[in-house]
Amino acid sequence: MAQSSRRRDAHTRPPAPPRPVWSRVRSVKRVSATAVIPAPPDELFGFLADPTNLPAWQTGIVSAEKTTAGAVGIGSKAHVVRQLLGQRLAVDLVMTGYQPGRKLVLTSGASGIEVEATLTLAPAGAETRLTFEMAIKAQNIFMAPMEGMVAGAAEKDLADSLDRLRQRFAAA
């Protein structure tokens, strides 16, 4: 008898409430560019890992300031001001991946858009093959239409940023 009443209770329970629409936003826009930079991986990584160097190579960055004390590594933070789609945005970056000479991952979020930037370095003779990737995700359904616009702007910025890096190290 106990089993039959359990079965009946299972069938009479109200269904779980639906998840909010914004929690179903799952799309991620990805853009990437690759270039060979005339510098060895360790030298290039040292330059890229220092957030105060961002304005010198990343297109759209107006200023960058490290906001955590100590050596750069996972958990390091920086405050960055950037120009994007005609707007000036102040964002905080967090270093979420750090493999010296090989890989650097930075995450940020502003105005409902979350961005994860990954820089992957590989030796190419005396130079470095650098791949710069961005994953752009809306944090809510209202910002989902902006993903494509931000990704389009980021795609051009990636290529321009890699070109600036190439020129900087070619001149050194």
pLDDT tens readout for residues 118-132? 999 999 999 999 999
Provide, rounded to the nearest whole percent, the portion of the chain with pLDDT above 70: 73
Residue with tokens 């105060």: 52
Going by pLDDT thresholds of 50, 70 and 90, the confidence category of residue 103 is: very high
Q: What is the pTM of this model?
A: 0.77
In whole angstroms, give the CA distance from residue 156 to residue 164. 12
Going by pLDDT thresholds of 50, 70 and 90, the confidence category of residue 87 is: confident
Q: Name the pairing type of β-strands 61-66 and 29-37.
A: unpaired
Q: What is the mean pLDDT of residues 95-105?
A: 96
pLDDT at residue 3 greater than cutoff 60: no
Which residues does 30 contact at the CB level (< 8 Å), separation at least 6? 133, 134, 135, 136, 151
**Tokens coding 149:** 């616009």
Where are the chain's structural domains?
30-171
Going by pLDDT thresholds of 50, 70 and 90, the confidence category of residue 23 is: very low
In this prediction, residue 21 carries a pLDDT of 46
CB 110 within 8 A of CB 60: no
Going by pLDDT thresholds of 50, 70 and 90, the confidence category of residue 40 is: very high
Other CB atoms within 10 Å distance of the CB of residue 8? 10
Other CB atoms within 10 Å distance of the CB of residue 74? 11
| Strongest mean pLDDT among 75-79, 82-86, 147-151 | 75-79
Burial 96-128 (b: 16+ CB within 10 A, else e): ebbeebeebbbbbebeebebbbbbbbeeeeebb
Residue with tokens 């890989």: 103
Pick the CATH number of 30-171 from 3.30.530.20, 3.60.20.30, 1.10.10.10, 3.30.360.10: 3.30.530.20
Going by pLDDT thresholds of 50, 70 and 90, the confidence category of residue 54 is: very high
In this prediction, residue 96 carries a pLDDT of 96
